[in-house]
Amino acid sequence: MTGFVSFVGSGPGDPELLTLKAVARLQSADAVLFDDLSSAVLGHARPGADLVAVGKRAGRPSPTQAHVSQLLVEYARTGIRVVRLKSGDAGMFGRLEEEIVALRTAGIPFEIIPGISAASAAAAAAQIPLTRRLSARRVQFVTGHDVTGDLPEQRNMAALADPEATTVVFMPKRTFPALAASLIEHGLSPDTPALIAENIGHPDQSLTRSTIADLAEQLQAGFSSKPALIFYGPLMDAE
C-alpha cells in the first residue's frame, strides 16, 4: 500500500495564522512529523494521530535529514495519511527538496500546502511593508549560514549591499557580525536601518530596531537561542 504525504507550512507559530487547508490536513492525518517551531499548532491534529518530533535546531542534538526523509517514506508506505509539518512556509529554507526527492524516488504521492512565511509575519508585526514605491522595489530572502553553520562563502555582495532592496536574513544571529562587516566593506552604510525579530508568532515575540553596525556589535557580544530574522534596508526606518 502507498499512503499520501501533505507538506504543510505551519506559519511562524501562531495557530491563528494557519490556513484552512492546513487545519483540514492536520485533522485528517494519521501521523504528523513536525518541526520544533511547529509544535504550537499541534492542537489541530486528530486525537490518536502519531506525533513525531523531527525538528533540527542549531547546537542541539537533532535527527539527520536522511533519517527524517527515510522516516517520512516509511510512514507513507504503511498506507496512511501523513502530514509533514514545517515551520513558516515549507519551501523557505525548510529542506523541502530533499524530502520531495525521497518521496518521488519511493513513488509516494504528495502535495504542498504553503504557509505564512516568518518574514511576512514579522513585517506585519512590525507594521512595515516589505516593499516601497521608488525606494524598495526588490525583496530578497537569504540564509545566514550554510550546512556547516558558517556564513555562506558564495555570496552576491552586490545584491546583498544594494541600498534599494529589502533584505531578510534567516538564521542570522551567529553570522550577522561577519555579514555586516562584509556589507559595509562593499559600500552599504553602517547606519542602514535594521530590525531583529525574535520568536515571531509566539507570545514572547520581540522586535528591536537598530542599524546594521549596532546590531552586529550587539550580536558579537552575545545572543539568545530564540529563533530570529534580521531585516535591513530602506523600509526599516518606517514608524
Which residue among 92, 171, 173, 236 is the active-site one?
171
Q: Give the angle 214-212-121 at the CA atoms, nearest 5°.
A: 115
pLDDT tens-digit series, residues 80-98: 999 999 999 999 988 999 9
Domain boundary among 61, 81, 116: 116
**pTM for this prediction:** 0.89
pLDDT tens-digit series, residues 95-118: 999 999 999 999 999 999 999 999
Do 98 and 166 belong together in one domain? Answer: no
Q: Is residue 79 part of a domain?
A: yes
Q: Is residue 238 part of a domain?
A: no
Q: Is residue 33 part of a domain?
A: yes
The domain containing residue 110 runs over which residues?
4-116
Q: Give the angle 182-132-194 at the CA atoms, nearest 5°.
A: 35
* Mean pLDDT across the chain: 91
Do 47 and 129 belong together in one domain? Answer: no
Active site residue 56: yes
What would the grid cell of residue 184 be? 559595509
Look at the chain and report how many structural domains it folds into.
2
Q: Is residue 239 part of a domain?
A: no
pLDDT tens-digit series, residues 31-78: 999 998 888 899 999 999 999 999 866 555 678 889 999 999 999 999
Do 162 and 109 belong together in one domain? Answer: no
Do 108 and 16 belong together in one domain? Answer: yes
Which residue among 35, 92, 162, 173 is the active-site one?
35
Burial of 41 by CB count in 10 Å (0-12 exposed, 13-18 middle, 19+ buried)? buried
Do 139 and 87 belong together in one domain? Answer: no
What CATH number is given to the structural domain containing 217?
Answer: 3.30.950.10
The dihedral region occupied by 61, where left means phi > 0, alpha psi between -120 and 50, and beta the remainder, is: beta
For the chain, the farthest-separated pair of C-alpha atoms sits apart, in whole angstroms, at: 59
Strand order across the beta sheet in which 81-86 lies: 50-53, 31-34, 81-86, 4-9, 110-113
Active site residue 36: no
Q: What is the pLDDT of residue 2?
A: 81
Q: Say yes or no to pLDDT of 236 above 60.
A: no
Which residue among 56, 157, 214, 226 is the active-site one?
56
Query: 17 with 118: CB under 8 angstroms?
Result: no
